[in-house]
A = this chain, B = another copy of it.
Amino acid sequence: MITRMSSLFLRTLRENPADAELPSHKLLVRAGYVRRVAPGGYSWLPLGMRVLRNIERVVREEMDAIGGQEIQFPALLPREPYEATGRWTEYGPNIFRLKDRKGADYLLGPTHEELFALTVKGEYSSYRDFPVILYQVQTKYRDEERPRAGILRTREFVMKDSYSFDLDDDGLERSYQLHRQAYIKLFDRLKLDYVIVSAMSGSMGGSGSEEFLAESEFGEDTFVRCVESGFAANVEAVTTPAPPAEPIEDKPQAQVHHTPNTPTIETLVDFLNGAGLGRTFSAADTLKNVMVKIREPSEKDWTLLGVGVPGDREVDMKRLEAGLYPTEVALLDDADFAANPFLVKGYIGPQALRDNGVRYLVDPRIVTGTVWATGADKVDHHVVDLVCGRDFTPDGTIEAAEVREGDPSPDGVGTLVAARGIEVGHIFQLGRKFTDAFEVDALGPDSKPIRITMGSYGVGVSRLVASIAEQHHDELGLVWPREVAPADVHVVIAGKDESVRDGAEKLAAGLDAAGIEVLLDDRQSSPGVKFADAELVGVPTILVVGRGLANGVVEVKDRASGERTEVAVDDAVGHLVKLIRG
């Protein structure tokens, strides 16, 4: 196909959009791929449509290759199935809800586990029917609090979501690995620089959830990696190696000190170091007790929970939430403190928690024999030399402390460094949460029902357009990988002579006949404007037809390297076909 820029619905912009910070956002708008039409809502202009469709095609090919079958659900979904799984409530303000003319509740689907589970239940009934992998490439909705970064975080977006249905855990593991391999192929084809990170899945089992993050300094997801071992994980999935237990016998007795005006770790450390206790304290020697309240999904009432971490670290609520999932977590409010007067703000210690029957979980570093300075449950008082396993005994450990660069890698090799990425894929062994909710069973060979186990797997299709742009651009514009580019060759007519125009038209026609997608700049603009637009638009190969034509040559420019090659006009089509087809 030949696309003529003289009639293409495209106006490139010289200025960056005022609200854009990310290169991908600036360039996709400037080069006329997308336009903002609402908060968190973008339209796809012709070039953007092509990149989006190319990505969709690659995604479909890789899903089909693992036996995935494409189906499609409505985006407008009734409340009932989501009520049955509790997600109608769980989603809180993050989904769009609406009522129809009869007052019935609907939502705009953010993800479709319920519907897929119900559909498989409706169609399949025998163990012989399984396994099955179903997918859709569909428009999804989330009422994001802060849509941002152009098409990277929008409220309406295209996702590929697939779901596997297996008879047993081994089957689920196979379906999971099929998706993992498919995603690797897919992101490789898209020339994406990505890492696969372990994603916390709390009580679901850690190994059954991984995220594919496109590396990007502007990514919203922080992850940590170990350069030495190749380990990479979400901070939620980082486990803290526990140091060996220490002997208790040689430790001094715990002593309560009057420590006026020391409600913070900093003030406490300063006080202790000025108190002539014969040694130097650091924040890491103190034990910080953070109070939260938790609630099981099925319960109505909250219960208190104490979380103890070394005083040099904050509690990372995302890690804490992931560690307790599906139990809900919230910080205490004033009413909670008022209702529990034994909690002395700034001076909470393990003693009061034990005495009042409050569950107490600690960071894995807090092992038997470690010695701590912590609150004495009384204003302006702290206890020093409080020994774990002697003076207090935690109810268990919890990964709640923040992860920092330099922390040891959980695999025991080297230390962690932090990095940022854009989540472009997620694979997740869901298990039986949804099949339990809807009683999705297969009749086994012994005529007994087998509860089906599910996996769910997402690819952020529209977000990939931005992720690829984020990794493939330079100061002049976009530099698309060949597989997703809006055209194969950008033919620039660089001259006003009839002969130049004719020559370019002939070359374009020759390329088109060879099945090459041509973007032909046949506008009346100056060569300078055309060259700048070619760099901005980012088709991987630029063919310049200009003055050289009189001498029988045209110029082939590689957009990525900037390398220019003179090619004889008569060889140009053959040269380009070879270049593009490889």
Contacts and interface: CB of A to CB of B under 8 A. Distances in A.
Interface of A: 7-11, 32, 35, 37-39, 41-46, 48-49, 52, 67, 69-78, 93, 96-98, 100-101, 104, 106, 108, 115, 118-119, 122-124, 132, 134, 139, 141, 143, 145, 155-156
Contacts of A100: 39, 96, 143, 155
Given A9-B132, A98-B96, A101-B93, A70 B42 contact: no
Given A9-B123, A37-B78, 13 more contacts: A8-B69, A11-B124, A32-B123, A37-B77, A37-B118, A38-B74, A39-B104, A44-B71, A49-B71, A74-B156, A93-B101, A100-B143, A139-B139
Contacts of A78: 37-39, 41
26 contacts: A7-B67, A9-B123, A11-B123, A11-B124, A35-B122, A37-B77, A37-B78, A37-B119, A38-B76, A38-B77, A38-B106, A41-B77, A41-B78, A42-B74, A43-B71, A43-B73, A43-B74, A44-B71, A48-B71, A49-B70, A74-B156, A75-B156, A96-B98, A96-B100, A100-B143, A101-B143
A8 B64 CA distance: 12
Nearest to A145: B101
Contact of A156 (B39, B76, B122): B76
Contacts of A118: 37
A65 to B, nearest CB: 11
A46 to B, nearest CB: 5
Nearest to A134: B9
A167 to B, nearest CB: 15
A43 B134 CA distance: 12
A172 to B, nearest CB: 18
Nearest to A524: B128
A72 B98 contact: no
A539 to B, nearest CB: 17
Contacts of A70: 46, 49
Copies in the complex: 2
Contacts of A98: 96-98, 108
Nearest to A38: B78
A92 to B, nearest CB: 9
Contacts of A141: 76
Contacts of A9: 69, 71, 123, 132, 134
A72 B101 contact: no
Nearest to A32: B123
5 tightest A-B contacts by CB?
A98-B98, A41-B74, A44-B72, A93-B101, A74-B156
Contacts of A75: 75, 139, 156
A108 B76 contact: yes
Contacts of A93: 101
Contacts of A72: 43-44, 49, 52
Contacts of A41: 74, 76-78
Nearest to A98: B98
B97 A71 contact: no
Nearest to A6: B128
Given A43-B72, A72-B49, A156-B76, A132 B37 contact: no
A45 B74 contact: no
Contacts of A122: 35
A36 to B, nearest CB: 10
A10 B100 CA distance: 31
A141 B97 CA distance: 15
A64 to B, nearest CB: 8
Contacts of A43: 71-74, 115, 119
A70 B1 CA distance: 14
A119 B35 contact: yes
Contacts of A69: 8-9, 46
Contacts of A35: 119, 122-123
Nearest to A53: B70
Which of the listed residues A43, A48, A73 has the most CB atoms from chain B within 10 Å of its own CB?
Answer: A43
A421 B428 CA distance: 48
